[in-house]
């Protein structure tokens, strides 16, 4: 596989500062009460949004539907997303048409600041699909990482301001269903351990306080991460950069079902968030699988270093269990639904058991509202 071109440290230094300034001007997120006054910040991250598989009677025209679009589908989780200092999503499929994009606008209206765009389906629409998707995100004010329209963009680190911190967001996929155009091997970031660490270290040298890596990895429809996911997570979180850690947080997608959270070498790893909006999902056996509509939203509260040059620390780690209700056409916060008397305890508990399956509760992970 051809890996994405490596970032150049000198160029990153300039781009990091420019990106932070752009973030401040165009899409400054509100402060979260949990981090207010501490100098820290909260980061939330959720699973794949697949507009093409949303219910057709509710999806917007950009996703081939006739309904009001994704914004009502995301309305219930908006308080959690918009209440964070930094909110990251995963957009799995290319935008369908030129012009304004309803999915991108819906993500922005929900409070998302940035989105990973590296997935197996990134090249489903070819290079033109990448252009349409990234153009739409740009118009909506949502930053992106993982795919690129130009080689220069592929070399550019995505940096977002979160409180007092500069957060670098890197994104990669283990492969693509369609090959990149021969003249554009850099169009999608592919998982390569050495390349990921080179990018992370370059971002650190350029001034990033926190490095977040989104990975579209692992086999589909498995509740547990496989040996390759576990091994790569160990190596990435053990790697060093400038006397400190190279990577602070790993966010996984691709499995379509919720997988475990785990603290590895002092960094939190979300092996699989599950899909946030995917509609009626069919598993590898050709059967409709209700697990494909179950997901989590991770929320991590970061505190600044105790001493100059130290590491930003996660002082609180939470997961929020979610369900995409296909009939209602909306994402449901399951704990809030339980409080309203909905009969969703079995689903909530199944998600909880998957998330805590590698002992994360012992490292302080809690279920949030």
pLDDT of 96: 57
Cα dihedral 325, 328, 330, 332 sign: negative
In 3D space, the residue among 205, 113, 197 whose CA is nearest the CA of residue 161 turns out to be 113
pLDDT of 10: 29
End-to-end Cα separation, the chain, in angstroms = 41
Return d(Cα 118, Cα 8) in angstroms, integer. Answer: 20
pTM of the model: 0.89
Six-digit token string for 21: 């300034």
Q: Are 106 and 74 in contact (CB under 8 A)?
A: yes
Return d(Cα 154, Cα 311) in angstroms, integer. Answer: 27
Cα dihedral 107, 93, 42, 77 sign: positive
Return d(Cα 346, Cα 342) in angstroms, integer. Answer: 11
Q: Are 182 and 38 in contact (CB under 8 A)?
A: no
Return d(Cα 43, Cα 317) in angstroms, integer. Answer: 10
Cβ–Cβ contacts within 10 Å for residue 278, how many?
23
SS3 193: helix
Question: What residues are paired with 288 via a beta bridge?
Answer: 282
pLDDT of 67: 58
pLDDT of 88: 98
Please report how many Cα atoms fall inside a 13 Å half-sphere around the Cα of residue 137, on the Cβ side: 27
pLDDT of 16: 44
Instruction: Spell out the per-residue pLDDT of the chain, length 369, in tens.
Output: 334 333 333 234 334 444 443 443 333 333 344 454 568 999 999 999 988 777 755 555 555 554 568 999 999 999 999 999 999 999 987 665 555 688 999 999 999 999 999 999 999 999 999 999 999 999 999 999 999 999 999 999 999 999 999 999 999 999 999 999 999 999 999 999 999 999 999 999 999 999 999 999 999 999 999 999 999 999 999 999 988 999 999 999 999 999 999 999 999 999 999 999 987 888 888 999 999 999 999 999 999 998 887 899 999 999 999 999 998 999 999 999 999 999 999 999 999 999 999 999 999 999 998
Q: Are 208 and 159 in contact (CB under 8 A)?
A: yes
The DSSP code sequence of 312-362 is -EEEEEEEEEEEEETTTTEEEEHHHHHHTT-S-HHHHHHHHHHHTTTSGGG
């Amino acid at each position: 596989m051809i890996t994405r071109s490596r970032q150049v440290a000198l160029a990153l230094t300039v781009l990091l500062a420019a990106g932070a300034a752009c973030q401040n001007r165009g899409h400054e997120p509100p402060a979260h009460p949990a981090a207010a006054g501490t100098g820290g910040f909260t980061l939330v991250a959720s699973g794949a949004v697949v507009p093409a598989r949303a219910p057709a009677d509710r999806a917007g025209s950009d996703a081939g539907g006739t309904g009001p679009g994704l914004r009502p589908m995301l309305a219930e989780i908006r308080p959690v997303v918009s209440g964070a200092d930094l909110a990251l999503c995963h957009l799995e499929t290319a935008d369908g048409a030129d012009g304004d994009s309803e999915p991108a606008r819906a993500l922005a209206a929900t409070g998302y600041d940035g989105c990973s765009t590296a997935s197996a389906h990134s090249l489903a629409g070819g290079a033109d699909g990448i252009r349409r998707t990234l153009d739409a995100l740009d118009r909506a004010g949502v930053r992106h990482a993982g795919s690129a329209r130009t080689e220069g963009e592929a070399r550019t680190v995505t940096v977002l301001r979160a409180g007092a911190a500069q957060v670098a967001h890197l994104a990669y996929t283990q492969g693509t269903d369609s090959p990149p155009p021969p003249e554009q091997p850099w169009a999608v970031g592919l998982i390569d351990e050495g390349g990921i660490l080179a990018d992370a270290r370059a971002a650190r040298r350029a001034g990033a306080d926190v490095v977040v890596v989104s990975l579209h990895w692992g086999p589909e429809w498995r509740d547990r991460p496989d040996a390759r996911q576990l091994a790569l997570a160990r190596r990435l979180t053990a790697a060093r950069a400038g006397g400190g850690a190279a990577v602070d947080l790993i966010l996984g997608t691709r499995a379509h079902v919720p997988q475990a959270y785990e603290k590895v070498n002092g960094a939190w790893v979300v092996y699989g968030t599950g899909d946030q909006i995917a509609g009626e999902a069919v598993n590898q056996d050709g059967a409709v699988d209700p697990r494909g509509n179950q997901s989590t939203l991770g929320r991590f509260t970061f505190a600044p270093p105790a001493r100059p040059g130290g590491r930003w620390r996660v002082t609180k780690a939470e997961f929020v269990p979610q369900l995409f209700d296909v009939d209602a056409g909306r994402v449901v916060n399951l704990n809030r639904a339980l409080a309203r008397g909905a009969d969703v305890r079995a689903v909530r508990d199944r998600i909880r058991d998957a998330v805590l399956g590698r002992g994360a509760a012992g490292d302080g992970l809690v279920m949030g509202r």
